[in-house]
Structure 1
Amino acid sequence: MAFVGAGPGDPNLLTLRGAELLGKADVVVLDEDAFGPLLQHCREGVEVLAGDYIPRAKAGKLVVRVCEGDPMLFSSISEEAAACAAAEVDFEIVPGVPPATAVLTYAGIPPAAAVPEFRVVDAAMEQDWASHAACPGTLVIYNGIDQAVPIAKALIAGGKPDSTPAAVSSAGTTTEQYTVVTTLGRMQPDLKHAGFTEPAMIVVGDAVGMRDRLSWFETRPLFGWRVLVPRTKEQAAGLSEQLRSYGAVPEEVPTISVEPPRTPQQMDRAIKGLVTGRYEWVAFTSANAVKAIREKFEEYGLDARAFAGLKVAAVGEATSQALVEFGVKPDLLPTGEQSSEGLLAEWPPYDSMLDPINRVLLPRADIATDTLIAGLTELGWECDDVTAYRTVRAAPPPQPIREAIKGGGFDAVLFTSSSTVRNLVGIAGKPHNVTVIAVIGPQTAKTAEEFGLRVDVMADKPSASALAAALAEYGQKRRQAAVAAGDVPRRPSQTRRGARRRLK
């Protein structure tokens, strides 16, 4: 049996020991709404419980009880551990990152910087606020949001100046983190419309004054932005991670479904030709094409060694990465524009003295354009254009997602192709006019405008990474303009009519 501290909210703050135990667990006990992301560390088939777990532990199963913050700090876990001891169940307690330090760090408040004294109290227990008022350093208060104003008055009555800096931070270390900086004397008016709920933390002391210089989390360019990524989780993994690094909350919504060709004979002949030396080159224009060939190889018991003697081209970085993961290093990758045109610009013309074979295999989608074929033909190559997979419109997303798209619940949407524009509008409706529209290039912009969408951001080169970076730059400029004007930075979704507005 193990009690594992999960930290205050950010799933990346889980300790290595905690992740190790979750990976071995037979049973996990946790609140899925709060700690669901931690299940990614668990093996498939793990049992998830919300109730009594001691019978499982007594039966010899490894039970991991996930606890908020640090299990031994202002927690009832000591009672649960005592119950395990009474039931003769061996247990381990794994410390977690305590909110008292993590939330302050994420808010840009160094707790022991101004004066080397740091006091943490739980407002749920009876406190002598007069003695706390005498604390010259930083006072951190758990579970006090409902009593924030009376606590402030009690500290003033105990001798703290009403000008003492204070801050209240809720949902700490998550992308919903929200911090109000005030003073003890202004606690009531400044918190009146903040709408704070637990979990929240009250911080009192001069260290709060350092937030202006040290705030790093809430000042990220896309902090808290809910960004729609119209791709599958598999396709969007790297893009979503990049968006998270900017502070965004990405949400993947597939707009296409990738399916095998209606008839497999063409692909079967292509694989046979690839193995028997029919081709000089194989050109991959998408990661999906690499996946389709890889699956066919596995079906025939082949692996990357079958590419020996072949030259391999990839249209861009994502496709190249898929090939490398397969064990194939591309011979040709555009150094400029990552597109069919960019690939053609660097493709060598056919030379009968140098090239024993003049044939190129193109495993592609059923809806691929003929740009690459036409260009290769002009260069003297013969092309076998093979349908490796079909793209069909995906099923509509759940109703809450559709309502958020049409109602302005998303702050931005990233369109990585014209088809994602057409398909998203087709399955979910047109994004609200407050939503920032970001596109990967001119053709996608043209399609978006044809659907009546205002294009706000365009990548400087046609890659998903460049698109995310362009959106972050847009968000940063928007934030800087608001601060320069003396306004509170707000997300696009907060500007729609009826949106909740909170002052920071």
Structure 2
Amino acid sequence: MVSSGDKNAAVVSLVGAGPGDPGLLTLHAVDRLRNADVIIYDHLIPPFVLELANAAAQRIYVGKWGAETRAMPQEAINDLMVVCAKSGRRVVRMKGGDPFVFGRGGEEASHLAAHKIPFEIIPGVTSAIAAPAYAAIPVTDRRLSSSFLVVTGHENPERVERRVDWGRIANAADTLVILMGFQQIESICLALTAAGRSPDTPAAVISGGTGARQVVVEATLATLPSILAQHPPPAPSLCIVGDVVRLRKEINWVETRPLWGLRVLVPQSRDQGLVTCEKLMNLGAEPVLFPTIQLVPPADIAAIKLAIKSLAEYNWIVFSSANAVDWFFRWLFECDQDTRSLGTCRVAVIGSATAARLRHYGVIPDVVPAQFHAEALVDALIAHAGPAPASTWRVLFPRAEEGRDVLPQRLRSLGTSIDVLPVYRTVLNAAADGRALEAALAAGQIDVGIFTSPSTFRNMVELLGGCDSARAVIDKMTLVAIGETTASEVRKFGSRVDILPAESSIDSVLDALKSWVSAGRTNAATDVGTSPKPKCPPNDTLVG
């Protein structure tokens, strides 16, 4: 296997992405994604998985959905891998589930071997065991099943003779797992019962296994076809046959997680969004990472370097976000300095997440107000400073270039000398696919949107095509604002803020979401105020 550290070796990695839940991605798979130059991926790869990849990697979609024409014929995919590898690039061919379990991985490996292209296989967790596990159906159980058999219900249509002998398979194992068999389910059930399998054998169809849209239909071999005819399951789906299906009611586990079944839009910057996505997955939700913003260096780097050289002149350094902390220390380290340069400066922060991020760099904040807003911070500073009047302070305030001036104005009104230092800019992520998001929202595929700053919402509106286009789909999801400033931006657009947490932090947002779910998922949460829908500016996008 080629080492991920060897950047000069051209290699193709045939990678299994698992069954849908990004948490089931293997460590090897993540490593190859992070070091890839080209990613050739299929339809069922979760967007969150692709966000784990090297941001500079070229992404090529070659998927197929249902009976539609494949985005690229298999022969062309084979040739594409060869061409990319011969150009000296590291190629990840990413496939749903496991490449060697009905994934045509063997065919692709043979093609690479024939062209003398170095390759490796990174196995993935197959839906054949993962989807039943998430449906609380073990494929084996010493009380009921000592064997299981996995078979495709959809063979190569070009093959004249069928290789699946349902008569032989019917009693070959205690548990049968049938992949891609929905179109043939009636004939399969009839064949199994004709071969001696009892019509009363428990059976289940699992649709969207391991994802937030997972649906499980329980029946028997005799009743399954009629039930599915009335309620066709969306693809992808699989069928499991055997007495183990009876255990589902006893050991159901995944559906008890507090946010199970929710698909949640996360429009934060990529790095912060990945952290939020992980927390959502741990609670059972399916995150949809869609970065609407990018964080980039500010226009004036010289001012940052000058401020860092002058740190000894400040009494206080104030941080209002985790991003400001990260960018400040990035510039500190680039100036060949470290935390010792803070000297006798005291540090104040707004928010528990900001305090946690500061601790990551080995600095414990002196002041963290209980309430997460500028006015509370000023009061806390005054209380902490004791007899020293605010007019004697000199404060450095690293922040975003487009940040609000509430804190500087409040301190200046007290006679404080405060230097506002832009350490980063927040800009539109123009690479985000607004049309894909619009389609997902229009189809009702996203339940909740979490907005952590005015720019995450404002930029989403722009990516959706402006006011009129965005308004038609945004209100289809429940809107969560992390704090009052973000909520004001949402209301300015004319939408209702459905959930406003007690504190301006992601953890508080998640707590509020759990309460909302337990209350029955009604959109009459903390904030029910609406405002008139404003007229859009001439360019049909919100500005300011």
TM-score w.r.t. structure 1 length? 0.76
Q: Is 1:436 aligned with 2:478?
A: yes
Q: Is 1:290 aligned with 2:320?
A: no
Q: CA deviation at 1:31?
A: 3.3
Q: Is 1:455 aligned with 2:501?
A: no
Q: Distance in 2 between matches of 1:289 and 1:21?
A: 31
Q: What are the ranges of 5 or more consecutive residues in structure 1 without an aligned counterpart? A: 481-504
Q: Distance in 2 between matches of 1:63 and 1:434?
A: 38
Q: Is 1:412 aligned with 2:448?
A: yes
Q: Structure 1, residues 446-473: CA drift from partner, whole Å, max 9, x if none?
A: 6645654333322122212211331233
Q: Is 1:151 aligned with 2:188?
A: yes
**Equivalent of 2:364 in 330, 334, 358:** 330
Aligned to 1:315: 350
**Equivalent of 1:31 in 11, 19, 42:** 42
Q: CA deviation at 1:395?
A: 7.5
Whether the 8 Å CA contact 2:327–2:424 is kept in 1: the answer is: no
Q: Distance in 2 between matches of 1:47 and 1:440?
A: 32
Aligned to 1:69: 97
Q: Structure 1, residues 378-408: CA drift from partner, whole Å, max 9, x if none?
A: 6xx7231425268778488724435666786
Q: CA deviation at 1:282?
A: 0.9
> Measured at CA, do residues 229 and 383 of structure 1 come closer, stay the same or move farther in structure 2, by a change above 3 Å?
farther
Whether the 8 Å CA contact 1:30–1:50 is kept in 2: the answer is: no
> Measured at CA, do residues 68 and 463 of structure 1 come closer, stay the same or move farther in structure 2, by a change above 3 Å?
closer
Whether the 8 Å CA contact 1:289–1:363 is kept in 2: the answer is: yes
Q: What are the ranges of 5 or more consecutive residues in structure 2 without an aligned counterpart? A: 1-10, 61-75, 156-161, 523-544
Q: Distance in 1 between matches of 2:180 and 2:295?
A: 47
Q: Structure 1, residues 215-239: CA drift from partner, whole Å, max 9, x if none?
A: 3345544445343334322343322
Matches within 5 A, 1:165-184: 165-184=202-221
Q: Structure 1, residues 1-55: CA drift from partner, whole Å, max 9, x if none?
A: 6544443344443434445556666766543763773584569557979322457
Q: CA deviation at 1:163?
A: 3.0
Aligned to 2:292: 254
Q: Is 1:401 aligned with 2:429?
A: no
SS of structure 2 residue aligned to 1:457:
coil
Matches within 5 A, 1:488-499: none
Q: Is 1:51 aligned with 2:88?
A: no
- What amino acid is aligned across from residue 199 of structure 2 in structure 1? D
- What amino acid is aligned across from residue 417 of structure 2 in structure 1? C
Q: Say how many residue pairs are matched.
A: 474
> Measured at CA, do residues 187 and 312 of structure 1 come closer, stay the same or move farther in structure 2, by a change above 3 Å?
same
Whether the 8 Å CA contact 1:293–1:388 is kept in 2: the answer is: no
Q: Is 1:120 aligned with 2:120?
A: no
> Measured at CA, do residues 203 and 479 of structure 1 come closer, stay the same or move farther in structure 2, by a change above 3 Å?
farther
**Equivalent of 1:8 in 19, 30, 35:** 19
Q: Distance in 1 between matches of 2:87 and 2:405?
A: 61
Of 299-308 and 88-97, deviating more is 88-97
Matches within 5 A, 1:57-206: 65-74=93-102, 76-82=104-110, 92-113=120-141, 114-123=144-153, 124=155, 125-134=162-171, 137-196=174-233, 199-206=236-243
TM-score w.r.t. structure 2 length? 0.71
Q: CA deviation at 1:185?
A: 2.1
Of 336-345 and 24-33, deviating more is 24-33
> Measured at CA, do residues 149 and 7 of structure 1 come closer, stay the same or move farther in structure 2, by a change above 3 Å?
same
Whether the 8 Å CA contact 1:165–1:209 is kept in 2: the answer is: yes
Q: Distance in 1 between matches of 2:332 and 2:39?
A: 38
Q: Distance in 2 between matches of 1:74 and 1:211?
A: 26
Q: CA deviation at 1:147?
A: 0.6
The CA RMSD over aligned residues, in Å, is: 4.3
Q: Distance in 2 between matches of 1:16 and 1:292?
A: 28
Aligned to 1:279: 314
Whether the 8 Å CA contact 1:243–1:250 is kept in 2: the answer is: no
Q: CA deviation at 1:83?
A: 5.2
> Measured at CA, do residues 477 and 216 of structure 1 come closer, stay the same or move farther in structure 2, by a change above 3 Å?
farther
Whether the 8 Å CA contact 1:101–1:111 is kept in 2: the answer is: yes
Q: Distance in 2 between matches of 1:406 and 1:461?
A: 31
- What amino acid is aligned across from residue 146 of structure 2 in structure 1? P
Whether the 8 Å CA contact 1:267–1:386 is kept in 2: the answer is: no
Aligned to 1:343: 377
Whether the 8 Å CA contact 1:340–1:372 is kept in 2: the answer is: no
> Measured at CA, do residues 75 and 444 of structure 1 come closer, stay the same or move farther in structure 2, by a change above 3 Å?
closer
Q: Distance in 2 between matches of 1:13 and 1:118?
A: 21
Q: Distance in 2 between matches of 1:250 and 1:290?
A: 26
Aligned to 1:465: 507
SS of structure 1 residue aligned to 2:78:
coil
Aligned to 1:487: none
Whether the 8 Å CA contact 2:349–2:355 is kept in 1: the answer is: yes
Q: CA deviation at 1:141?
A: 1.3
Q: Distance in 1 between matches of 2:83 and 2:475?
A: 54
Whether the 8 Å CA contact 1:226–1:251 is kept in 2: the answer is: no
Whether the 8 Å CA contact 1:5–1:71 is kept in 2: the answer is: yes
Q: CA deviation at 1:103?
A: 1.8
Of 394-403 and 461-470, deviating more is 394-403
